[in-house]
Amino acid sequence: MSTTTADDLPVVVIGAGPVGLAAAAHLHERGLEPLVLEAGDGPGAAVAGWGHIRLFSPWRYDVDAAARRLLEATGTWSAPDPDRLPTGAELVQDYVAPLAATPALRDRVRYKTRVSAVSRDGADRTRSTGRERRPYLVRTVGPDGEVRDLLARAVVDASGTFGQPNPVGASGLPAPGEDEAAAFLAGPLPDVLGVERERFAGRHTLVVGMGHSAANTLLSLAQLAESSPGTRITWVIRGGTPRRLYGGGQADELPARGELGERLRAAVETGRLELITRVTIERLEPGAEQVRVLGTGRRAGVDGVLDLHVDQIVNATGFRPDLSMLREVRLDLDPVVEAPTELAPLIDPNLHSCGTVPPHGEPVLAHRDAGFYLVGMKSYGRAPTFLLATGYEQIRSVAAALAGDRAAAETVELNLPATGVCSSDLALASDDAGSSGCCGTTTAGPQPVEIGFATGLAHGRAGDPVA
């Protein structure tokens, strides 16, 4: 084991997205040394993957406080209009990239560096004696393919889940034939109206999922169909009603998000797209030009066989965390949503549907191995909603705890608008949405709202992947 003491080592942050870089800003402000490891070519690489999407949350909710202080100190950064809705590309160009380039952080970020494993230096997960005194060992694969081990006093995993989509098959497993049909899967957020327009125009697209990523794609396809004859859209969901996705309408304090649901409802009711509910996809059979989708579903209130031939499938079924690199860390995870045990009851979609999550910080995020944290979207595990501003609050609290400021770590500082949503689709035996445990109740503190992706007309959400 190395003789280096943990206090001499940096805090490794995995991921140079908005939350990872904000974590570095808070750590720097607290006098701790951050080292950010990013698998992509540059800052915000995952966000760049959905750069054509416009967030429905305005800039006022998209910039972290410590990050803002670093940016303003450069004297060259101009804060965006707080009421404007940025695209993913603008989020990177006007915020994430300038933040990574600040004098405080630019030499503390390594790109094209993938973390393959995290452990305790000289101790696997079974060894307890002296474990708390050992620094973390972070194994990386650099741009040259060489494997290198780094030591860290603590590790903050903000790597997200965007690269780990759920399958379209039931039971959490890929449907038979799904791997073979990979060429027909278009990803969760294709650029339907932009660079991928020719792939969708005049063709039949199946959209699977009931999050805002699905809504974004459905509305883009509906817009494409207005100018491209033969464009056909089928939307399938596993639940009995899309009422939750339709949202709070005018009651939503983020108007663009409320309008998103209203526009989607209108597209369904006017027949611009076909909705099939209670769908189970049992098999995919790829052919030369189309893929056959087999299973069961409900059309017009009647259960029956699902048998579709489509040109492509948009898999908007959500994401799951990559935990394989953390097998040697003693994690305390909920067995249902794979989020930290204390956080899981606040975000479990089996219990909550109204989009309100009580503000939370380091005490809720701690694991059995002290000094290791999952933050941002990855902290939500398989839960379908990620709160960007809540991610900023998480890392503010974590940085305070790592600096020894327990009072600041345990004080919640967050105030966001309400969703205006109180509906659920939890009981598969009924088409009627009932109230869930979070609706009609009062929780301590202000209620955050999901930050999410939007369509090119400024409607949508940044939470299905990252947002």
**Quick one: 444 and 360 in the same domain?**
yes
pLDDT at 193: 96
Confidence of residue 457 (pLDDT cuts 50, 70, 90): very low
* Average of per-residue pLDDT across 443-460: 34
Single out the residue in 260, 295, 315 at which a domain terminates: 315
* Average of per-residue pLDDT across 28-49: 97
pLDDT at 353: 55
Q: What is the pLDDT of residues 306-345, one digit of tens each?
A: 999 999 999 999 899 999 999 999 999 999 999 999 999 9
Residue 439 pLDDT more than 80? no
**Quick one: 310 and 325 in the same domain?**
no
Residue 71 pLDDT more than 50? yes
* Average of per-residue pLDDT across 239-257: 71
**Quick one: 10 and 155 in the same domain?**
yes
Residue 428 falls inside a structural domain: no
pLDDT at 438: 43
Output 187 or 445, whichever has higher pLDDT: 187
Residue 63 falls inside a structural domain: yes
pLDDT at 460: 32
With residues binned 3-state (H G I as helix, E B as strand, rest as coil), the percentages for the chain, rounded to 5, are: 30, 20, 50
pLDDT at 251: 54
Residue 430 falls inside a structural domain: no
**Quick one: 115 and 249 in the same domain?**
no
Reported pTM: 0.86
d(CA 105, CA 382): 31
Output 162 or 121, whichever has higher pLDDT: 121
Closest by alpha carbon to 209, among 181, 190, 183, 231? 190
d(CA 56, CA 417): 13
Residue 366 falls inside a structural domain: yes
Residue 131 pLDDT more than 90? yes
Output 463 or 236, whichever has higher pLDDT: 236
Structural domain span for residue 293: 170-315
Residue 283 to residues 37, 144, 297, 308, Cα–Cα distance (Å)? 39, 40, 13, 11
CATH number of the domain where residue 191 is located: 3.50.50.60
Output 466 or 349, whichever has higher pLDDT: 349
To the nearest 10°, report the CA torsion of 176, 180, 182, 188. 0
| Tally of structural domains, the chain | 2
**Quick one: 17 and 149 in the same domain?**
yes
**Of the candidate ranges 92-106, 173-187, 396-410, 433-447, the one whose mean pLDDT is the lowest:** 433-447
* Average of per-residue pLDDT across 46-51: 93
d(CA 197, CA 87): 18
**Quick one: 132 and 267 in the same domain?**
no
* Average of per-residue pLDDT across 377-406: 91
SS3 state at 154: strand
Residue 463 pLDDT more than 60? no
